Every structure is written in structure tokens, then in C-alpha cells.
Structure 1
Amino acid sequence: MNKYLLCLCILTLGACSAANEDLHEWMQNASKQAKSKPINHKQAELNAQTKYTPPVQPQMNIFNPARLKAGLQGNNIPDLNRPRQILENYPLDELRYVGLIKSAGKAPSAFIAVEGHVYTVNLGNYLGQNYGRITAITPDEIVITELVEDTYGNWSGRRASLPLQATDNAPAETTSQN
């Protein structure tokens, strides 16, 4: 029995020593492969520093005294305190001029269609998203003056028009005797 126990101990100790030797041998090979020569990097040559000059934009000077003075004067500023009208929620390209009604002794009224609804408008009504105001109503078009702000903060009038877009089935112009 002692012989068996002695053989078992020798085999156990022999197995442990062989595994460690393999591990040490692998570590030595890996460290040899990992070692490399240092790479010599060439230092980049820098040119003389150039001074950055931003592009000149004389038209966009936000501190221009003329622009600030014009902003204080309030030239052509739209009345922001007035109640907005329903047709000011739509851009002009969504509005359609579909008809005209003339009354005896009164200014003509126009019919404007948008999103399945028809609205009646008169001279001086507002429409469109750029503070557009109706300045003329003719059988062919509605003339609108829009207020647009430029880069200097000045408001200027811009002419726009809605041409008549009547269908063949319905009359575009109606005359009232009232």
C-alpha cells in the first residue's frame, strides 16, 4: 500500500512541475516576441505661424450705429399688439382667391379659400405670415403689401398678389344690389 501511495505522490508532484515549466516557457517566448525596437518619430516641422484674419463683412456689422438708431426709430414696424386675424396663420401659397363680390357704393370684398373653408376679406384685412395687408382687390387678383425685416432691422414693404383661381362651374364675380 505504501508503494501505491508513494507512486501517487510522485506522479502528482511530477504533473505540477511540468505544467509550471510550460507556463514559464510560454511567458518567455511571448515576452521575446513582444519586445521590439523603439520607433524613431521625426518631429514635424512647423512653419512660421500665420495670423488668422476673419473675413470682412461690412454689411453685417451688428454694432453699426445707423442700424441701432434705425431700430430705435421704429420705421415701418408692424403693430404687434393688435389681435391677429385667422388668415395670418397661413402662408400666402396656401391661400386661394376664389371669388369677388361688389356692393353698390362699397369697396369690393373677396373670397379666400384655405383648408376647405371660405373666408370673406376686405381692404385693410391682414393675411399671410409676413404681416401682409390687403391694399387692392380687383377681379383678377388681390394685391398685398407685406412687411419684411432686413439684416439691419429695418422693415420694408414688399408687394405680393393672389391671382384669381376660379373654377369653370362657379362664377368668380358676384354683384350685389344692396
Structure 2
Amino acid sequence: MRISYLFMPLLSFMVLTQPLAAQAAVGEPTDQGNEAMPNAMSHIMVAPNIDIQNIRDPFLSSFEKNRIEEAKRFKNRRQLPENKRKREVLEFFDLSTLKLVATYKKAGGEWVASVQDSTGKAYTVRRGNYIGKRGGRIEKIDGQTIYLVEQTINPAGEIVDRQVTLTMAEVNDNL
């Protein structure tokens, strides 16, 4: 058994040196006419072009992405001009709870309207007043309708104008 321990290092030396000699012989042409191994640099791989600006972040969940977009829309909401002024009384009511009761023309030719809230209290409004929680500005009043323009934010986060009407026909249909 002691003899095998003595021959073990000699055996391992012979095994390790044999592949080195074989590798040296492979790279050189032999007598049989074999060619040398091809150059390893000829097989270099090129990385694909990646659009870094539009790549999806794998660590960002869809919930977080929606929150970021919502924050951008909220930032635009602060830019709305209605938020920089003092709110009028009728801006605390939802537009669907307000009813157009009457419209009439004053002596100077200006149209004025009477709007009633859900409790029955009436308010007089004219062109330029604001109505509704979304800050709709009265642009025009005629015999049957109040025309409002609300500035809202679309899903892309842009501020857009939306026209809304409040008509007296809705009140007359319920009577």
C-alpha cells in the first residue's frame, strides 16, 4: 500500500503533462497536411443594438408605473388656472346636482341664469362665473341653456377643454 502512495505523484505528473504536449501538437501542422486551428478572434459576437430610452424596466411593476403616470397628471393638474384663484360657492357642488331653473335677459342685453342646488337654494349666475367641482367656466347663456367649458386632463396627461351644457329642458321634463 505504501508503494501506491509513492507512484501516485509520478502517475499524476505523467497524466498532466501528456495533454500539454498533445495541445502543442494540435496547433502545428502535421505530416498528414492538416491545417492549424482557426483563429478564435474570427468568431467574436457583436452585441445587439438596444434602445435604452424605450426599454422596459424589469424592476418596475405595472402598479408603480401607473403611480408615476398619475403623479405626472397630478403635476399638470396644478397648472390648471382654476386652482390659482379663490373658488366660488357653486364650485363646491357636483354639476349633476345643479338645476337650471330660469334664464332672463337684463336691460343691458346680458343673459343671467338662476341655478338651484339639491337643497332648493337658488343662485344667480352670469357669463364668467364658475360652476361645478371641475371648475366649469360659463361661456354663454341663452334662453334654454348654460354653456360651460371645463379644463380637464386626458389620459395622456395633457390639459384639454371640454364643453358641458346645463339645460332647462331637464327641469321641465321632471315637472
TM-score (norm 1): 0.51
Q: Matches of 1:144 and 1:79 in 2, distance apart?
A: 14
Q: Confirm or deny: 8 A CA contact 2:103 2:144 kept in the other structure.
A: no
> What is the Cα deviation at residue 116 of structure 1?
1.2
SS at match of 2:96: helix
> 1:24 maps to what in 2?
none
SS at match of 1:84: coil
> What is the Cα deviation at residue 166 of structure 1?
5.2
Map of 1:126-141 to 2, 5 A cutoff? 126-141=130-145
Q: Matches of 1:161 and 1:88 in 2, distance apart?
A: 15
Higher helix share: 2
> 1:143 maps to what in 2?
147
Partner residue of 1:98 out of 94, 101, 106: 101
- 1:114-162: per-residue Cα shift (whole Å, max 9, x none)? 1210000000100001110001101111011111112333211111111
Map of 1:1-178 to 2, 5 A cutoff? 62=68, 71=76, 74=79, 77-114=80-117, 115-164=119-168, 165=170
Q: Matches of 1:131 and 1:166 in 2, distance apart?
A: 22
Radius of gyration: which is bigger? 1
Q: Confirm or deny: 8 A CA contact 1:100 1:111 kept in the other structure.
A: yes
- 1:81-133: per-residue Cα shift (whole Å, max 9, x none)? 31111100111110000101211224110000012100000001000011100
> Which amino acid letter does the alignment assign opposite residue 87 of structure 1?
L
- 1:41-89: per-residue Cα shift (whole Å, max 9, x none)? xxxxxxxxxxx89999xxx7957xxx79x95xx5xx2232311111001
> Which amino acid letter does the alignment assign opposite residue 127 of structure 2?
L
- Which consecutive residues of structure 1, in runs of 5 or more, have no partner in the other structure? 1-51, 169-178
Q: How many residues align?
A: 110
> Which amino acid letter does the alignment assign opposite residue 107 of structure 2?
A
> 1:172 maps to what in 2?
none
- Which consecutive residues of structure 2, in runs of 5 or more, have no partner in the other structure? 1-57
**Which is further off, 158-167 or 81-90?**
158-167
Give every structure 1 segment of 4 or more consecutive aligned residues whose post-TM-superposition deviation is greater than 4 Å. 52-56, 60-63, 165-168
Q: Confirm or deny: 8 A CA contact 1:148 1:157 kept in the other structure.
A: yes
Q: Which has the higher contact order (CA 8 A, sep 6+)?
A: 1
